[in-house]
């Protein structure tokens, strides 16, 4: 059974339970399988050898999630050697529709809807809502975690500048 962490974050100021162990800097990332927009599986090893900034959002159809994805889409064009991923539980079709309507082309959208595999591996699956908590992870080319931010209130923005700086540092 997966580890549950009660009250680790809040969602609209209400404590929620996260499923999965907290990821820490220095950890080797756990494997996961999510779906890319063409419904093909994407796992941790599909990005091995690349630095990855993983932006986790509850749902692409909310204001903060939209802003977060737009910001990392803009930054992705300037981040040499860094692959930027956005993970949510939105269906791949909804992600593709939103990206097309918003002109989002620099981030890879991934859906954890099917299994919550990513959510459990990275400790961001919200038990009560079947959504993912807002978080940022940076992985180096060997899948070592170099940066972690679990946003304490899921409706708040992450620290974009720190995450971008961490991705640049990992890509050196």
Predicted confidence (pLDDT) per residue in 91-137, tens digit = 999 999 999 999 999 999 999 999 999 999 999 999 999 999 999 99
Extents of the domains making up the chain: 26-171
In angstroms, the first-to-last Cα distance of the chain is 38
Q: 0.85 exceeded by the pTM?
A: yes
Q: Taking the mean position of all CA atoms in its chain, how far away is CA 119?
A: 9
How far is the C-alpha of 84 from the C-alpha of 109, rounded, in Å?
9
The pLDDT value given to residue 37: 87
Integer Cα distance of 83 and 137 in angstroms: 12
CATH 3.40.50.150 describes domain 26-171: no
The active-site residue, picked from 34, 54, 65, 163, is 65
Closest by Cα among 28, 34, 25, 23 to 88: 34
- What is the token pair recorded at 125? 């699956």
User: Annotated catalytic, 99?
Assistant: no
Distance CA 70, CA 83 (A): 15
Q: What is the mean pLDDT of each run of 10 residues along the chain (172 residues)?
A: 87 95 97 94 92 97 95 94 97 95 95 97 97 98 97 96 97 94
């Amino acid at each position: 059974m997966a580890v549950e962490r009660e009250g680790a974050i809040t969602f609209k100021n209400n404590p929620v339970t996260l499923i999965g162990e907290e990821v820490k800097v220095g950890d080797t990332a756990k494997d996961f399988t999510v779906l890319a927009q063409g419904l093909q599986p994407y796992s941790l090893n599909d990005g091995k050898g690349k630095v990855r900034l993983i932006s986790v959002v509850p749902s692409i159809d909310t204001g903060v999630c939209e802003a977060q994805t737009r910001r990392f889409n803009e930054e992705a064009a300037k981040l040499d050697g860094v692959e930027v991923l956005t993970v949510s539980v939105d269906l791949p079709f909804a992600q593709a529709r939103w990206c097309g309507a918003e002109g989002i082309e620099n981030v890879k959208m991934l859906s954890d809807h099917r299994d919550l595999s990513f959510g459990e591996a990275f400790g961001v699956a919200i038990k009560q809502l079947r959504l993912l908590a807002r978080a940022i992870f940076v992985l180096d080319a060997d899948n070592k975690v170099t940066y972690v931010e679990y946003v304490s209130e899921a409706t708040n923005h992450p620290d974009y500048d720190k995450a971008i700086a961490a991705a640049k540092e990992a890509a050196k």
